[in-house]
Amino acid sequence: MTEHVARPAADRPRPPSRSGRRSRRTALGAGGTAVLLAALDAYVVVTVLVDIARDVDVPVNHLERATPIITGFLLGYIAAMPLLGGLSDRYGRRPLIHLCLAGFAAGSVVTALAGTVPWLVAGRGLQGVAGGALLPITMAMAGDLWDEHDRPTALGAIGAAQELGSVLGPLYGAALTALVPATLRLGGVQLGGWRSIFWLNLPLIVLAAVAVQRSVPPPARAPGRAARVDLVGGLLLALALGLLVAGLYNPDPSRSVLPAWGPATIAAGVVAALAFLWWERRSPTRLIDMAGVLRGPFFASLGVSFLTGAALLVTLVDVQLSAQTLLGLGTLDGALVLSRFLVALSVAALLGGVMARRYGERAVAVAGLALATVGYARIGQWPLGLAGAGHRMDVDLVVAGLGLGLVIAPVSSAVLRAVPAVQHGVASAAVVVARMMGMLLGVAGLSAWGFHRFQALTADLDTPLPFGVDPAVHARRLAEYGDRVRAALHTEYSEIFLITAALCAVGTVVALLLPRGSRRTDTG
Q: Give the DSSP per-residue string, 485-503.
A: HHHHHHHHHHHHHHHHHHH
User: Residue 378: which pLDDT band, with cuts at 50, 70 and 90?
Assistant: very high
Amino acid letter for position 488 = A
Q: What is the pTM of this model?
A: 0.78
Residue 184 burial (CB < 10 Å; 0-12/13-18/19+)?
Answer: middle
Per-residue pLDDT, averaged over 416-428, amounts to: 72
Residues 72, 136 within the same domain:
yes
Question: Which tops the pLDDT comparison, 14 or 251?
Answer: 251
What ranges in 146-261 are assigned the alpha helix state H? 151-179, 195-215, 231-248
Question: Which tops the pLDDT comparison, 55 or 250?
Answer: 55
Total domains in the chain come to 3
Per-residue pLDDT, averaged over 19-25, amounts to: 71
User: Residue 98: which pLDDT band, with cuts at 50, 70 and 90?
Assistant: very high
Q: Which residues make Cβ contacts (< 8 Å) with residue 169, sequence separation at least 6?
A: 39, 40, 41, 42, 43, 44, 46
Question: Is residue 85 scored above 70 in pLDDT?
Answer: no
In this predicted structure, what is the pLDDT of residue 521? 42
Beta-bridge partner residues of 186: 189
Residues 84, 53 within the same domain:
yes
In this predicted structure, what is the pLDDT of residue 497? 94
In this predicted structure, what is the pLDDT of residue 524? 38
In this predicted structure, what is the pLDDT of residue 5? 39
The answer to whether residue 15 is domain-embedded is: no
Residues 196, 277 within the same domain:
no
Q: Which of 54-63, 127-136, 151-160, 245-254 has the highest mean pLDDT?
A: 127-136
Please state, rounded to an integer, the average pLDDT across all residues of the chain.
82
What SS3 state is found at 185? strand
In this predicted structure, what is the pLDDT of residue 425? 62
**CA separation, residue 389 to residues 60, 65, 343, 383, 501 (Å):** 25, 32, 21, 7, 20
Residues 280, 364 within the same domain:
no
Q: Which of 17-21, 148-152, 155-159, 421-425 has the highest mean pLDDT?
A: 155-159
In this predicted structure, what is the pLDDT of residue 19? 59
Beta-bridge partner residues of 67: none
Residues 511, 471 within the same domain:
yes
Residues 307, 279 within the same domain:
no
Q: Which of 30-44, 143-157, 297-311 has the highest mean pLDDT?
A: 297-311
CA dihedral 427, 429, 433, 435 (to 10 degrees): 80
Question: Is residue 498 scored above 90 in pLDDT?
Answer: yes
The answer to whether residue 200 is domain-embedded is: yes
Per-residue pLDDT, averaged over 296-301, amounts to: 89
- Say which DSSP state 194 is in: T
Residue 229 CA neighbour count, 13 Å, CB half: 15
The whole domain housing 370 covers 292-524
Per-residue pLDDT, averaged over 72-88, amounts to: 77
- Give the domain-ending residue among 167, 186, 217: 217
The answer to whether residue 340 is domain-embedded is: yes
Per-residue pLDDT, averaged over 435-459, amounts to: 83
Q: Using H for helix, E for strand and C for coil, what is the string for 383-438?
A: CCCHHHCCCHHHHHHHHHHHHHHHHHHHHHHHHHHCCCHHHHHHHHHHHHHHHHHH
Per-residue pLDDT, averaged over 57-67, amounts to: 78
Residue 262 burial (CB < 10 Å; 0-12/13-18/19+)?
Answer: middle
Per-residue pLDDT, averaged over 123-137, amounts to: 87
Per-residue pLDDT, averaged over 24-28, amounts to: 82
Q: Which residues make Cβ contacts (< 8 Å) with residue 105, sequence separation at least 6?
A: 201, 202, 205
Q: Decide: 396 and 378 in contact? Cβ < 8 Å.
A: yes
* Cα gap 239→236, rounded to integer Å: 5
The answer to whether residue 2 is domain-embedded is: no
Residue 386 burial (CB < 10 Å; 0-12/13-18/19+)?
Answer: middle
The dihedrals phi and psi of 236, each to the nearest 5 degrees, come to -65, -40
Question: Is residue 306 scored above 80 in pLDDT?
Answer: yes
Residues 304, 448 within the same domain:
yes
Amino acid letter for position 404 = L
* Cα gap 89→74, rounded to integer Å: 24
The answer to whether residue 349 is domain-embedded is: yes
Residue 444 burial (CB < 10 Å; 0-12/13-18/19+)?
Answer: buried
One DSSP character per residue, 88-126 reads HHHH-HHHHHHHHHHHHHHHHHHHHH--SHHHHHHHHHH
Question: Is residue 435 scored above 50 in pLDDT?
Answer: yes
In this predicted structure, what is the pLDDT of residue 294? 80
Residues 268, 297 within the same domain:
no
The answer to whether residue 4 is domain-embedded is: no
Residues 250, 308 within the same domain:
no
Residues 386, 349 within the same domain:
yes
User: Residue 520: which pLDDT band, with cuts at 50, 70 and 90?
Assistant: very low
Find the length of the chain. Answer: 524
Residues 44, 61 within the same domain:
yes
Residues 260, 139 within the same domain:
no
Q: Decide: 51 and 177 in contact? Cβ < 8 Å.
A: yes
Question: Is residue 11 scored above 50 in pLDDT?
Answer: no
- Give the domain-ending residue among 217, 243, 272: 217
The CATH number of the domain where 177 resides is what?
Answer: 1.20.1250.20
The answer to whether residue 225 is domain-embedded is: no
In this predicted structure, what is the pLDDT of residue 507? 96
The answer to whether residue 427 is domain-embedded is: yes
The dihedrals phi and psi of 418, each to the nearest 5 degrees, come to -90, -10
* Cα gap 126→501, rounded to integer Å: 33
Helix (H) or strand (E) holding 346: helix 331-359
